[in-house]
């Protein structure tokens, strides 16, 4: 069997009522003919939306096909033992040209019971934000189901939601159960469990091109929401240059930030997991094997198979990479 290598995938672009053109203008994605490109699914094993390899001898194969052949060599033995043929993460870039719906995602237990799916815990890394742009994460006070429903029914939901003004580099961790919404004018990277289950709570009475409002999931959302008040929801993290700085660590993924201006060597023998690099600024070469090179630039995502174990990353100038693994 031929040796694995850093894998790139053809982006899966999604037309969204709230999408815009930053995926093309800032991340070099080809969004034509989509009128409102809201999401670029970079790596996905979601049924019906499986990513397809775009480089090397595996070009044209879906991620699920590669996983079926290479198993633990692709994702790590412990990861394959736990998740089998299902790739455990969904990696996206999101362009919010308008505010997204206010929503919540179920946890693993509820999602399995209702949808035979994983839950959806996620995190956001803000890549660019228009002046004054903000997002919603959590509530601004402690409340219960009764008060929440009263505010929802009286059209006063805004009064209990926590709004956060953002700028490039800000990170928000969104565990399943936390009410949230990306605001207008924000471009971000999203790392999440493999799940497409979303409960839409409020959508500002928007209508699509056919004059229809989008479905709301009020009753399902009530039991999925965590009503706990958490005062500080933005994630602080270190930015020491030329090392992996821990940003988010949870049961479902770990994300580090690498800000590089010199070549570094990465040894993955201890983690028994694939790695994902999302380039959020600059460009670099990923060097592996006997002098082989895979370039990565802003807006690109690369999957490093678990079997690769050792790589060098050589920045061209300065580069910022999100490093993700299980």
- Fold identical between 12-224 and 244-325? yes
Render pLDDT for 23-41 as a digit per residue (tens, 0 to 9). 999 999 999 999 999 999 9
Reported CATH class of domain 12-224: mainly beta
- CA-CA distance, 14 to 11, in Å (whole number)? 10
User: 78, 114, 200, 214: which one is catalytic?
Assistant: 200
Whether 6 and 304 have beta carbons less than 8 Å apart is answered as: yes
Q: Is the pLDDT of residue 207 over 80?
A: no
Render pLDDT for 253-270 as a digit per residue (tens, 0 to 9). 999 999 999 999 999 999
What's the confidence (pLDDT) of residue 13? 98
Structural domain boundaries in the chain: 12-224, 244-325
The contacts of residue 74 (CB under 8 Å, 6+ apart) are 4, 66, 67, 80, 274, 305, 306, 307
Examine the residue annotation and report whether 309 is marked as an active-site residue of this protein. no
What's the Rg (C-alpha) of the chain?
Answer: 20
Average pLDDT over residues 47-59: 97
Q: Is the pLDDT of residue 209 over 80?
A: no
What's the confidence (pLDDT) of residue 213? 84
Instruction: Tell me which DSSP letter residue 9 carries.
Output: B
Name the band, by pLDDT with cuts 50, 70 and 90, for residue 88.
very high
What's the confidence (pLDDT) of residue 312? 98
Reported CATH class of domain 244-325: mainly beta
Name the band, by pLDDT with cuts 50, 70 and 90, for residue 325.
very high
Q: Is the pLDDT of residue 208 over 90?
A: no
Render pLDDT for 265-321 as a digit per residue (tens, 0 to 9). 999 999 999 999 999 999 999 999 999 999 999 999 999 999 999 999 999 999 999
Render pLDDT for 210-260 as a digit per residue (tens, 0 to 9). 888 888 998 999 999 999 999 889 999 999 999 999 999 999 999 999 999
The helix (H) or strand (E) run that includes residue 75 is helix 72-75
Angle among Cα 317, 319, 324 to the nearest 5 degrees reads 155
What's the confidence (pLDDT) of residue 128? 98
Q: What is the rounded (10 degree) CA torsion for 151, 153, 156, 162?
A: 50
Q: Is 109 helix (H, G, I), strand (E, B) or coil?
A: helix
């Amino acid at each position: 069997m031929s040796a694995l290598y850093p894998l790139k995938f053809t982006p899966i672009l999604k037309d969204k009522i709230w999408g815009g053109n930053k995926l093309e203008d800032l991340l070099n994605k080809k969004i034509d003919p989509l009128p409102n490109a809201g999401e670029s699914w970079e790596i996905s094993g979601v049924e019906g939306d499986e990513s397809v390899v775009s480089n090397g001898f595996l070009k044209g194969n879906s991620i699920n096909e590669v996983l079926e052949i290479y198993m633990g060599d692709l994702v790590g033995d412990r990861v394959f033992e736990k998740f089998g043929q299902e790739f455990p993460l969904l990696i996206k870039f999101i362009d919010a040209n308008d505010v997204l719906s206010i929503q919540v995602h179920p946890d693993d237990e509820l999602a399995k019971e209702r949808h035979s799916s994983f839950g959806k815990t996620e995190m956001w890394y803000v890549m660019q934000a228009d002046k004054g742009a903000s997002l919603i994460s959590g509530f601004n006070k402690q409340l219960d189901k009764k008060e929440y429903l009263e505010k929802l029914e009286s059209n006063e939901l805004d009064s209990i939601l926590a709004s956060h003004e953002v700028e490039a580099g800000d990170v928000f961790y969104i565990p399943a159960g936390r009410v949230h919404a990306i605001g207008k004018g924000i471009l971000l990277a999203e790392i999440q469990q493999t799940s497409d289950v979303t409960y839409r709570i409020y959508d500002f009475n928007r209508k699509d091109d056919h004059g229809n409002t989008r479905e709301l999931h009020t009753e399902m959302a009530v039991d999925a929401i965590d009503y706990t008040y958490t005062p500080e929801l933005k994630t602080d993290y270190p930015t020491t240059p030329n090392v992996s700085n821990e940003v988010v660590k949870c049961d479902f993924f770990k994300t580090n930030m690498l800000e590089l201006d010199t070549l570094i060597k990465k040894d993955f023998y201890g983690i028994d997991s694939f790695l994902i690099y999302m380039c959020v600024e600059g460009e670099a070469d990923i060097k592996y094997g006997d002098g082989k090179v895979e370039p990565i630039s802003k807006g690109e995502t690369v999957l490093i198979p678990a079997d690769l174990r050792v790589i060098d990353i050589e920045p061209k100038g300065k580069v910022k990479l999100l490093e993700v693994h299980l």
